Structure 1
């Protein structure tokens, strides 16, 4: 089953082409009701996936700040909620910033293309690329 999922993953979860980025930006601009988001091509965030307590000496590494065992999932979505990227690799005790800085999308700098940006929560560092927290964008709406 896992092999079948891995084979299909690239067909379903992938970044838009550079030509499609303008369309994604337009969708996010409409969602945000702000022209400040016209070059935004995704939102990045993380969540904890609950797991059974692992056996062994490193089991405590999987206890997150809410005191349950988990692994970190980092995902990037477009304006329709479609997953563009997923990264699962770190135990629950690891901070979102560390997960981001070690994720393939960050390390390789493969997304977003030049002139576009991603938005993220306060766990994302304020960078010109590849991720920009939403509160640092001029004219951005805050929740």
Structure 2
């Protein structure tokens, strides 16, 4: 997939005061080139714009809007940076710097968007999960998802996962509305899900009792604890345990759907289907 045409049409002859790229695009064009609905692209642009706006507004400055849309286009298409630069009138080094700048801002500012819910929101989530599964006090669903990377030059073996691919094991917690409420992306693919959780900040917060009776639901990769519900091992189990497993499986579909939407080929961010440098 090529770079967004709206960048190509506007980048060579830019005049900063007149540029309103999103306003000239249809819903279809925005979703096709960014992988996001129009309101999502506008929200991200408004969120990042103050952090990536050029210090001097000249005809040669790349505007915040172009920076954000170029980066989203790269995430969406997974294309080569040199091709992006050629298509939109930027050199490959410039395209690389733009993508790095916006990506760093995304990482730095992400806690303002992806944050664990407060007490009131926890109660709402718990009520929603209880209505669906009869599990009380559930405030999130946890799972790990692997994002492939190019084989690193250092500590290569620790990044090899069970499928013999090099990856990062990303821990994700979602709510009942398929929203990320916590994410940890600092562990190599060889790390087990339970290890990632035990060494995460959210585990420490549960240990200190910050969430009261709140619990998470996980799969068999996690250990049962006062704040973690996991299925009973397969084999000879009681009718109660069998019913428990069925109800747990039904509510765990929230995390499966969340991760599936995030990594769905051809519809969201193609870069997640490729290997990248960690």
In structure 2, the CA distance between the partners of 1:66 and 1:111, relative to structure 1 (3 Å rule), is farther
Counterpart for residue 103 of structure 1: 200
Shift in Å at residue 2 of structure 1?
2.8
Unpaired runs of 5+ in structure 1? none
Counterpart for residue 120 of structure 1: 218
Q: Which moved more, 1:111-120 or 1:14-23?
A: 111-120
Counterpart-to-counterpart distance in 2, 1:14 and 1:111: 18
Select 2:164's aligned residue among 29, 44, 67. Answer: 67
Counterpart-to-counterpart distance in 2, 1:118 and 1:112: 13
TM-score of the superposition, structure 1-length normalised? 0.84
- Alignment pair present for 1:132 and 2:229: yes
- Alignment pair present for 1:53 and 2:151: yes
In structure 2, the CA distance between the partners of 1:70 and 1:40, relative to structure 1 (3 Å rule), is same
Shift in Å at residue 49 of structure 1?
0.8
From the two aligned structures, give the one with the greater helix fraction: 2
The answer on whether the counterparts of 1:135 and 1:142 sit within 8 Å (CA) in structure 2 is: no
Structure 1 consecutive aligned stretches of length 4 or more whose deviation exceeds 3 Å: 134-140
Counterpart-to-counterpart distance in 2, 1:122 and 1:111: 23
- Alignment pair present for 1:34 and 2:133: yes
Unpaired runs of 5+ in structure 2? 1-101, 234-239, 250-278
Counterpart-to-counterpart distance in 1, 2:209 and 2:107: 21
In structure 2, the CA distance between the partners of 1:119 and 1:26, relative to structure 1 (3 Å rule), is same
From the two aligned structures, give the one with the greater strand fraction: 1
Q: Which moved more, 1:120-129 or 1:133-142?
A: 133-142
State the secondary structure of the residue aligned to 2:190: coil
- The superposition leaves residues 96-120 of structure 1 with CA deviations (integer Å, 9 ceiling, x where unpaired) of 1111111111134368611221100
- Superposition CA RMSD, Å: 2.3
Counterpart for residue 104 of structure 2: 3
- Alignment pair present for 1:78 and 2:175: yes
Shift in Å at residue 127 of structure 1?
0.5
State the secondary structure of the residue aligned to 2:141: strand
